[in-house]
Structures are given as structure tokens and as C-alpha cells.
């Protein structure tokens, strides 16, 4: 069943202004509100509605209750020439992770590679945003994070790891960069909940119940069902790597120690962990040569023969960039549940509604 559109069309800037208004009203600085809003709206414009502006309500509630600190500033706890550990001090995850990627890029500029881990953070939205920050500056970017366990391992009863997103982005000259953003689950948990809220069926292969058996009962998630791991043992193995780099190495919480930012006690920090990496490609190859080689690779993939009835092959991110350019020129048509979430957020925060802001 197709997602239901609300018919409400907003520009990217209008949506950013609304999100900033909510966050500033909760005591977040204008700069941090702008950073967080940019992450959420960019994700929305890419078509990643599960990690777009609908997340604002959860962040606002956690800010009001104290689990997120509106006046916190992340800081570098320790560092070396090509690495650093950042303490988020329970600031908004978007603020901390952007600082981490900027730190990684600065180190990559000096020595070729920068790797930064994060502790005392929270849910950071779409991992692809931070990888893209590096690609915008001609670098390879990668971002990952752990989360409260929601994904089963092959043969397990119950969740073992978080959905543990990982993303990378690679520049292609002056073209839109490659952008892959995925979790280790077969599907994002937000998509399960969105389907349940819209009374849509859950496809086979998305969930396993508390006994480790496949189920399509979406209402069981997340308390009595887990997400199935992408690719079985392969997804589990990648998720474990992310858990180690983001949680164990950073000093953050890991597996069952991570707090649920959405369903847990909103007055308590979640201590999510994350990790980012930047590689200065210009340190290894002339940027013009790298761009030309990437363009050749892109062309070869686009021109590769496809099966009967199949469209030309695409690189990761091309669909998202099409969505973004359309949103930039035509505005964003928001889903009904997204609009409802934003209006509820404004009401809870005593701020002007989205509808009134647009009029």
C-alpha cells in the first residue's frame, strides 16, 4: 500500500525554520538548532521520512524532560594526530556527530585520515548526513552508530544488537556524490512502526518474534518482536563491528546498556556511541584524476546491460539526490503522519503550529 500524502507542501527553508523555532523554544542555541534542523530536513528531502522531521517530537520530549541537555556542548576528551574521542555530554546527537566529522576532516587534512569515536551521545538521525559532510569537501566519509538492541542474530531469541546504521559517501567531481546509508536490519524499525500506524501489512522477512520465529505481526515490535538481520549472519557480523567501534572503543554504552531514546525514561541520558571517519582523497591521488576515474566507473555502471524490463542500474544515493533536487525546486509534500507529528510537537511545546507558520 502506498504511503499517504497530506497534500501539505512546504519549502525546505520553511521546514527548517519551523524545526529551529521548536528547538530554540526548548533552550537550544540558534547554532545547534540550525545544525539539528539541517540534518532532519536534509534527510526528509532525500526521501528518508523515517529519519526526517518526524524525529523532532522525540527529541523535543527528551529535551523537556532532561535526557537531552539543551545547553550541553560536546568536547574532545582525548586525541592524537589522526584520531580523537569526543564526549557529547548528552547534547543533541546531530550536534555532537557533526562536530566529530568536522574533527575527523581536520585531522584527515593534516595526515590523510581522521577517525573519531563518540560517547555520551544520543540518536543522531540519518548516518548518511555526516558521511556526506566529508564528500562535500572532496573526502571519503563514513559514519556509524549503535542503538538499543532491536535486531536479532541468526538463531537468537530476542534482539542482540541495535539497528546500528552505517553510511559512506564518495565525491564524483562536481556531480552528486555516492551516498549509501543503511542499517544492519532488513528494514528500519521506523518503517515497521509507520506501517502499524497506517494499518498497513508487514512484509514477510521483516520481523521475528520472541521465540525467534518469523512473524508479520507489526504490533509486537519492539517489545515482543525483533527486526531480522540483513543478510543473516553477514548483517550480524557488520553490526558487531559497528557495536565495537561505536560503543566498546568509544567508552559509550553498548548492547543492552544503551538507553532507548524513544521508549525509555526521557529524563535519563541514553549514552549512545558513534564513530566517523574521513579520508582526504587528495592525499593519495590528484583530485582531477580521481574525479575522472569515478566518472568512468559511474558511466560503466549506468551503461551495464540489464535484465529484460529492468531500468538502468543506479549508484547508491542517486534516487535520494533526485528526491532532493525535486524538493528543492518544488517543495516537500509531507506524509500525513509526519504532519501530525509536527503539529503535536508544536502543541506540546507551546509553539506556533506548522500550518500557522505557513499562512
CATH number for the domain harbouring residue 17? 1.10.1530.10
In sequence order, the β-bridge partners of residue 235 are: none
Q: What is the pLDDT of residue 98?
A: 98
Q: What is the pLDDT of residue 340?
A: 93
What's the domain count of the chain?
2
Do 78 and 56 lie in one domain? The reply is: no
Domain edge (last residue) among 258, 279, 303:
303
Range of the domain at 357: 1-65+314-359
Domain edge (last residue) among 303, 331, 349:
303
Secondary structure of the chain in the HEC alphabet?
CCCCEEEEEECHHHHHHHHHHHHHHCCCCHHHHHHHHHHHHHHHHHCCHHHCHHHHHHHHHHHHHCCCCCCCCCEEEEECCCEEEEECCCCCHHHHHHHHHHHHHHHHHHHCEEEEEEEEECCCCCHHHHHHHHHHCCEEEEEEECCCCCEECCCCCCEEECCCCEEEEEEECCEEEEEEEECCECCCHHHHHHHHHCCCCCCCCCEEECCCCEECCHHHCCCCEEECECCCHHHHHHHHHHHHHHHHCCCCCCHHHCCCCCCCCCCCCCCEEEEEEEEEHHHCCCHHHHHHHHHHHHHHHHHCCCCCCCCCCCCCCHHHHHHHHHHHHHCEEEEHHHHHHHHHHHHHHCCCCHHHHHC
Reported as a single tens digit per residue, the pLDDT across 203-254 is: 999 999 999 999 999 999 988 999 999 999 999 999 999 999 999 999 999 9
Reported as a single tens digit per residue, the pLDDT across 70-110 is: 999 999 999 999 999 999 999 999 999 999 999 999 999 99
Percentage of the chain modeled with pLDDT above 90: 91
Reported as a single tens digit per residue, the pLDDT across 141-185 is: 999 999 999 999 999 999 999 999 999 999 999 999 999 999 999
Mean of per-residue pLDDT scores for the chain: 95
Do 333 and 351 lie in one domain? The reply is: yes
- Domain contains 192: no
Do 29 and 138 lie in one domain? The reply is: no
Do 134 and 240 lie in one domain? The reply is: yes
Q: Quote the pTM value.
A: 0.94
Q: What is the pLDDT of residue 119?
A: 98
Do 236 and 288 lie in one domain? The reply is: yes
- Domain contains 14: yes
The least confident of 5-9, 11-15, 232-236, 270-274 is 5-9
pLDDT value at 7 more than 80? no
Do 263 and 324 lie in one domain? The reply is: no
Do 323 and 290 lie in one domain? The reply is: no
Q: What is the pLDDT of residue 344?
A: 96
- Domain contains 318: yes
pLDDT category of residue 4 using cuts at 50, 70 and 90: low
Do 241 and 299 lie in one domain? The reply is: yes
Q: What is the pLDDT of residue 194?
A: 82
Which CATH number goes with the domain that contains 132? Answer: 3.30.1370.60
Do 14 and 139 lie in one domain? The reply is: no
- Domain contains 195: no
- Domain contains 197: no
Q: What is the pLDDT of residue 349?
A: 96
Do 89 and 142 lie in one domain? The reply is: yes
Do 179 and 288 lie in one domain? The reply is: yes
Q: What is the pLDDT of residue 226?
A: 96
- Domain contains 177: yes
pLDDT category of residue 1 using cuts at 50, 70 and 90: very low
Percentage of the chain modeled with pLDDT above 70: 98
pLDDT category of residue 2 using cuts at 50, 70 and 90: very low
Residue range 315-325: mean pLDDT, rounded:
98
Do 61 and 93 lie in one domain? The reply is: no
Amino acid at each position: 500500500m502506498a504511503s499517504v500524502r497530506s497534500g501539505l507542501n512546504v519549502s525546505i527553508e520553511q521546514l527548517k525554520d519551523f524545526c529551529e523555532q521548536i528547538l530554540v523554544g526548548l533552550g537550544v542555541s540558534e547554532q545547534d538548532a540550525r545544525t539539528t534542523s539541517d540534518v532532519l530536513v536534509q534527510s526528509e528531502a532525500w526521501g528518508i521520512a523515517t529519519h526526517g522531521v518526524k524525529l523532532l517530537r522525540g527529541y523535543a520530549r527528551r529535551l523537556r524532560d532532561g535526557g537531552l541537555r539543551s545547553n550541553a556542548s560536546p568536547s574532545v576528551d582525548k586525541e592524537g594526530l589522526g584520531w580523537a574521542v569526543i564526549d557529547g555530554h548528552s547534547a543533541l546527537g546531530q550536534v555532537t556527530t557533526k562536530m566529530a566529522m568536522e574533527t575527523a576532516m581536520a585531522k584527515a587534512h593534516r595526515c590523510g585520515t581522521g577517525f573519531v569515536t563518540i560517547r555520551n551521545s544520543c540518536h543522531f538521525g540519518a548516518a548518511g548526513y555526516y558521511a556526506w559532510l566529508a564528500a562535500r569537501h572532496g573526502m571519503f566519509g563514513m559514519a556509524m552508530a549503535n542503538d538499543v538492541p532491536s535486531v536479532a542474530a541468526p538463531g537468537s531469541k530476542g534482539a542482540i544488537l541495535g539497528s546500528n546504521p552505517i553510511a559512506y559517501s564518495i565525491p564524483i567531481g562536481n556531480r552528486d556524490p555516492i551516498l549509501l546509508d543503511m542499517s544492519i536490519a532488513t528494514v528500519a524499525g521506523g518503517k515497521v512502526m509507520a506501517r502499524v500506524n497506517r494499518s498497513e501489512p508487514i512484509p514477510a522477512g521483516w520481523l521475528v518474534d520472541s521465540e525467534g520465529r518469523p512473524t508479520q505481526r507489526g504490533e509486537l515490535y519492539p517489545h515482543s518482536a525483533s527486526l531480522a538481520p540483513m543478510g543473516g549472519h553477514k548483517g550480524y557480523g557488520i553490526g558487531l563491528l559497528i557495536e565495537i567501534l561505536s560503543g566498546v572503543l568509544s567508552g559509550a554504552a553498548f548492547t543492552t546498556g544503551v538507553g532507548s531514546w524513544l521508549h525509555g525514561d526521557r529524563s535519563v541520558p541514553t549514552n549512545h556511541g558513534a564513530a566517523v571517519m574521513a579520508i582526504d582523497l587528495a592525499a593519495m591521488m590528484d583530485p582531477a584524476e580521481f574525479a575522472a576515474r569515478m566518472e568512468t566507473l559511474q558511466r560503466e555502471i549506468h551503461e551495464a546491460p540489464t535484465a529484460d524490463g529492468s531500468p538502468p542500474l543506479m549508484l547508491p544515493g542517486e534516487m535520494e539526490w533526485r528526491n532532493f533536487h525535486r524538493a528543492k525546486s518544488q517543495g516537500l509534500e509531507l506524509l500525513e503522519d509526519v504532519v501530525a507529528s509536527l503539529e503535536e510537537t508544536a502543541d506540546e511545546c507551546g509553539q506556533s503550529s506548522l500550518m500557522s507558520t505557513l499562512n
